[in-house]
Structure 1
Amino acid sequence: MVDVAVQPNRIAPARPAARKSGLKTALKRKSTTAFLMTLPLILLIGILVVYPALYSLHLATLNKSMHKFVGFGNFIFLFKRDTFWLVVKQSCIFALTAVFFKVLLGFIVAHFVHNVPANKQRRWRGMLLVPWVIPPAMSTLAWLWLFDPSYSAFNYTLSLFGIGPVPWLGDANWARFSVILVNVWYGAPFFLIMYLAALKSVPEQLYEAAAIDGANWWQRIWFVTLPMMRNIIAITTLFSLIVTFANFDIVRILTSGGPLDHTHLFATWAFKLGIESGDIPLGASVSLFMFPILAIAAIFILRDVTKRGNEA
């Protein structure tokens, strides 16, 4: 009987030690350490991204004076406007076309630089990264001069061959082409440097094995290079799609959405409605339409990447 009564008293002091050991074990876990190290970044994202997103969602439910709750009234109003659907169409065409050509040019130029002798690659990388290093507003102003209707360098060059003049920014189709051209010129170097890094990580033994099996250069790209670069292609495409959809400065400087709103994107039209027209809730409603489109694209691309990772 005495031993039974004393036994609980012996076990009780061991509990604080067990708790301390459990805390030490938790701190030693890599996942816990990683979470604590990324906690400042998570808080920063919450302040700079999550809060503005929730506040814009709140603004989208108010009237123009921001004193009355209207629910989905702003969204219903936008659905009835032809300009809104024109902006949706243009934003999708602009983003998909620009990203496609950035991926294509980045992939081609990356192969070119990868095959250049090692002692000359640094020079080529430096020159080809210049468009991406220059601030987009500054480079777009230079393109504005090239597209100028009176003193266009492009039109002057075309006139030497008896062609032109071309209304680069005065015609809707040419204006769309000009905006996409500038965006591709600015964004392609990003794909170049990412794909060049991915190409250098592909083992040479795979190309040698493919060559022994009789594969030509196209088959080596299709069956060796692309499978090894799928993940980086998917991630860079998604990142560029998000940035391109939210593009503002290129369209704002070149065309300001003209002619007749035919080059407006979500960002520029939201600025026009919210800032220039003074209807901030309506501008917030326009900007929120980017979220479902980009969310669908992100789910589609990342699901494919995750599926391939699980299979591997």
Structure 2
Amino acid sequence: MADIALARPAAAAPEKASAWSRFRTSRGWLGFWFMMPAALILLLFLAYPLAKGIWLSVTDTRIGRGGSFVGLENYEWLSDDSVFWLSVFNTLLYTGIASVAKFAIGLYLALLLNKRLPFKALIRSIVLIPFVVPTVLSALAFWWIFDSQFSIISWSLRHLGLLDRNIDFLGNPDMARACVIFANIWRGVPFIAITLLAGLQTVSPSLYEAATIDGATPWQNFRHITLPLLTPIIAVVMTFSVLFTFTDFQLIWAMTRGGPVNATHLMATLSYQRGILSGNLGEGAAIATAMVPFLVLAIAISWFGLQNRKWQTG
């Protein structure tokens, strides 16, 4: 009996070593260790600023002066602020129209560039130009194009005899909204087009050949082959597009500063104006924090869409 009792710990030792060995060599844990540096960077540069912003949103902190806890007072103030609600409307309008237009144009360009074209590589490089040009430089170029005095559009139309005076593109609220949306579409289309083009390159040509032999039309090929296979890429690229558009700041601030009469103020630009320029960090943080539910909703829609596998099985 004593020998058996002494033998039990010895038998357990290899099991512990084996478990630790599996722990070290498991693919899942190996991936975990590789992800740890990136996770730490995200915690440092994303999670901490987000938590700090949420904390500032419930205080009355101002630049140069520490604040005290005020609860939801900043949010109550914003709920009665007409400019804030206008910025919410502008942000949703800006994001909705720009995202739909960028997807439609980007998908069309991707399908076009996927065909056999002369100088295809050169055309693809040209398509990328709006995306690689710095945002502020693009914004300044559009600001010059839409300038009330020196606009090339107004100059051309006047010399053609179609106008007798310049168009005040950025001085009219509706036209200013249309101008910034157009600028965002121009800048964002290449990202979607090139990403979808990369997805199209992975679709086997044999699928189209088999469908064509069966008598499928080009629309049927697109509807039953291209679109289902591109759905995961579309979900991811549109999620990024919506997030980038919703949080856009540089383009709007460089072109209009939120004017005229707050007609182009987005939540991001209003947050900067109230928090940094006006010095009210608490209110600015509250506006920025109010953007989080919209962003989480966009990510959730994409995630649940990817989890639904029905489109994969037809």
So what's the TM-score if we normalise by structure 2?
0.94
Q: Structure 1 residue 282 and structure 2 residue 283: aligned?
A: yes
Q: Structure 1 residue 98 and structure 2 residue 76: aligned?
A: no
1:305 Cα deviation after fit:
1.2
1:194 Cα deviation after fit:
0.5
Corresponding position of 1:207:
208
Corresponding position of 2:302:
301
Corresponding position of 1:157:
156
- Structure 1: gaps (5+ residues): none
Partner Cα separation in structure 1 for residue 161 and residue 309 of structure 2: 53
| Greater Cα shift, 49-58 or 218-227 | 218-227
RMSD over equivalenced CA pairs, Å: 1.6
Corresponding position of 1:28:
25
Instruction: Percent identity, please.
Output: 31
1:122 Cα deviation after fit:
1.4
Partner Cα separation in structure 1 for residue 195 and residue 157 of structure 2: 35
Partner Cα separation in structure 2 for residue 16 and residue 157 of structure 1: 86
1:233-287 CA-to-partner distances (Å, cap 9, x unmatched) read 1111111111111100000010000000010001100000001111001000000
Corresponding position of 2:142:
143
Which structure 2 residues correspond to residues 154-193 of structure 1 after superposition, within 5 A? 154-164=153-163, 165-193=166-194
Which amino acid in 2 is paired with 1:31? G
1:17 Cα deviation after fit:
3.0
Partner Cα separation in structure 1 for residue 34 and residue 293 of structure 2: 31
1:158 Cα deviation after fit:
2.4
Corresponding position of 1:16:
13
Partner Cα separation in structure 1 for residue 7 and residue 260 of structure 2: 86
Partner Cα separation in structure 2 for residue 310 and residue 103 of structure 1: 19
Residues 12/64 of structure 1: CA separation in 2 closer, same or farther (3 Å cut): closer
Q: Is the Cα–Cα contact under 8 Å of residues 171 and 260 in structure 2 kept in the other structure?
A: yes
Q: Structure 1 residue 57 and structure 2 residue 54: aligned?
A: yes
Partner-residue secondary structure (3-state), 1:12: helix
Corresponding position of 2:123:
124
1:223 Cα deviation after fit:
1.7
1:188-239 CA-to-partner distances (Å, cap 9, x unmatched) read 1001110111111111122122222322222221221111101111111111
1:164-204 CA-to-partner distances (Å, cap 9, x unmatched) read 43221110111111101111111110011101111111111
Q: Is the Cα–Cα contact under 8 Å of residues 243 and 298 in structure 2 kept in the other structure?
A: no
1:136-164 CA-to-partner distances (Å, cap 9, x unmatched) read 11121111111111111121222244334
1:310 Cα deviation after fit:
9.3
1:10-58 CA-to-partner distances (Å, cap 9, x unmatched) read 2213433322221111122111111100100000000000000000000
Which amino acid in 2 is paired with 1:226? L
Corresponding position of 2:72:
72
For these two proteins, the number of residue pairs brought into alignment is 308
Partner Cα separation in structure 2 for residue 25 and residue 133 of structure 1: 46
Residues 311/194 of structure 1: CA separation in 2 closer, same or farther (3 Å cut): closer
Residues 155/223 of structure 1: CA separation in 2 closer, same or farther (3 Å cut): same
Partner Cα separation in structure 1 for residue 132 and residue 312 of structure 2: 38
1:68 Cα deviation after fit:
1.9
Partner-residue secondary structure (3-state), 2:119: helix
Which amino acid in 2 is paired with 1:6? D
Partner Cα separation in structure 1 for residue 259 and residue 153 of structure 2: 20
Partner Cα separation in structure 1 for residue 29 and residue 249 of structure 2: 39
1:64 Cα deviation after fit:
4.2
Residues 159/223 of structure 1: CA separation in 2 closer, same or farther (3 Å cut): farther
Partner Cα separation in structure 2 for residue 194 and residue 220 of structure 1: 20
Which amino acid in 2 is paired with 1:262? A
Residues 238/20 of structure 1: CA separation in 2 closer, same or farther (3 Å cut): same
Partner Cα separation in structure 1 for residue 137 and residue 116 of structure 2: 31
Partner Cα separation in structure 1 for residue 38 and residue 102 of structure 2: 30
Residues 37/49 of structure 1: CA separation in 2 closer, same or farther (3 Å cut): same
So what's the TM-score if we normalise by structure 1?
0.95
Partner Cα separation in structure 1 for residue 233 and residue 59 of structure 2: 41
